[in-house]
């Protein structure tokens, strides 16, 4: 009898150990579904490289969203203007790239609830004769540096280039546009405020105009074919907002002025 009891106990222990192993392997990621996030890691502090790792506000928000969904996050670095086409094609699950919600983009993808506000600002050299945003649509024609496919590109193309009031010069990276400004190839750069602050802090002799060019909302882009993921992302974002996690991530990267 004793033998039987210990056999049963041993068997129970085995089952217990197996069950424990089972949860373990589910948690170490081996069995987890992958959540792919497309970004353009040239946009500090939202996404940038630290060594060979993409870090930043978007990367961290994505990581907690993935955790909440029980998925494993994989970040793919790609050109900014290829993110939406790739999501439409089903290549990646979501796009997070300090991406502004616009009517045009909404025709192609769905956007989550907004998780941040962005402002398009103008960077000039110190002493520039451009002193307000209105100067860009004034009598004198200027060359404006932008990153291809961004809202800075779209708005300045419509408001300035298409109206014959100036020229838009497009670069693959915001940092390249800023380099062009430094050597006088463009007269100003229109870009989002946070990367603008980071670029100006790294360079001598540049400043951001006090007047903003446009205010916008950043959100997560998801394929229209995947409303379930969109719903789950919105649920996760609401929870992260309510429990203060989102603010904590933002505060880690953006120091209050």
Instruction: Establish if 171 lies at the interface with ligand GLN (CB under 6 A).
Output: no
Can residue 118 be called a binding residue for ligand GLN (CB under 6 A)?
yes
The answer to whether 147 contacts ligand GLN (rule: CB under 6 A) is yes
How many chain residues bind ligand GLN (CB under 6 A)?
Answer: 12
73 makes contact with ligand GLN (CB under 6 A)? no
Out of 98, 170, 188, 223, the residue judged to bind ligand GLN by CB under 6 A: 98
193 is a contact residue toward ligand GLN (CB under 6 A) = no
Cβ of 16: how many Cβ atoms within 10 Å? 10
- Binding of ligand GLN at residue 159 (CB under 6 A)? no
Q: Does 43 bind ligand GLN (CB under 6 A)?
A: yes
Asked if 97 interacts with ligand GLN (CB under 6 A), we say yes
Give the residue from 80, 104, 96, 81 showing the smallest Cα distance to 249.
96
Phi, psi of 143 (to 5 degrees): -100, 125
| Residues of the chain by 3-state class (helix, strand, coil), percent to 5 | 45, 25, 35
Q: Which contiguous run of DSSP H or E holds residue 14?
A: helix 2-27
Distance CA 44, CA 207 (A): 17
Candidate ranges 95-103, 137-145, 197-205, 245-253; the one touching ligand GLN (CB under 6 A): 95-103
Q: Binding of ligand GLN at residue 151 (CB under 6 A)?
A: yes
150 binding ligand GLN? (CB under 6 A) = yes
- CA angle 80/232/117 to nearest 5° reads 45
**Site membership for ligand GLN, residue 95 (CB under 6 A):** no
Minimum distance of ligand GLN from residue 160's CB (angstroms): 16
- 107-219-123-164 Cα dihedral, nearest 10 degrees: 10
Which residues lie below 8 Å from residue 196, measured CB to CB, with a gap of 6+? 121, 123, 189, 208
Q: Which residues bind ligand GLN (CB under 6 A)?
A: 40, 43, 80, 97-100, 118, 147, 150-151, 192
């Amino acid at each position: 009898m004793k033998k039987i009891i210990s056999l049963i106990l041993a068997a129970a222990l085995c089952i217990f150990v197996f069950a424990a192993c089972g949860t373990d392997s589910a948690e170490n990621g081996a069995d987890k579904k992958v959540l792919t996030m497309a970004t353009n890691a040239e946009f500090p502090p939202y996404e940038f490289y630290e060594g060979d790792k993409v870090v930043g506000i978007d990367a961290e928000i994505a990581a907690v969203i993935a955790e909440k969904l029980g998925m494993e996050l994989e970040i793919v670095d790609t050109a900014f203007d290829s993110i939406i086409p790739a999501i439409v094609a089903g290549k990646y699950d979501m796009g997070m790239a300090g991406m502004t919600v616009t009517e045009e983009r909404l025709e192609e993808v769905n956007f989550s609830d907004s998780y941040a506000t962005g402002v398009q600002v103008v960077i000039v050299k110190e002493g520039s004769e451009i002193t307000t945003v209105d100067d860009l649509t004034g009598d004198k024609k200027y060359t404006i540096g932008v990153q291809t496919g961004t809202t800075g590109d779209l708005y300045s193309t419509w408001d300035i280039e298409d109206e014959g009031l100036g020229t838009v010069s497009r670069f693959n990276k915001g940092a390249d546009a800023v380099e062009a400004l430094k050597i006088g190839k463009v007269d100003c750069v229109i870009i989002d405020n946070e990367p603008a602050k980071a670029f100006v802090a790294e360079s001598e002799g540049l400043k951001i105009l006090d007047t903003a060019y446009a205010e916008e909302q950043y959100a997560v882009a998801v394929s229209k074919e995947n409303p379930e993921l969109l719903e789950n992302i919105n649920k996760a974002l609401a929870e992260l907002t309510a429990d203060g996690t989102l603010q904590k991530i933002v505060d880690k990267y953006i120091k209050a002025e």
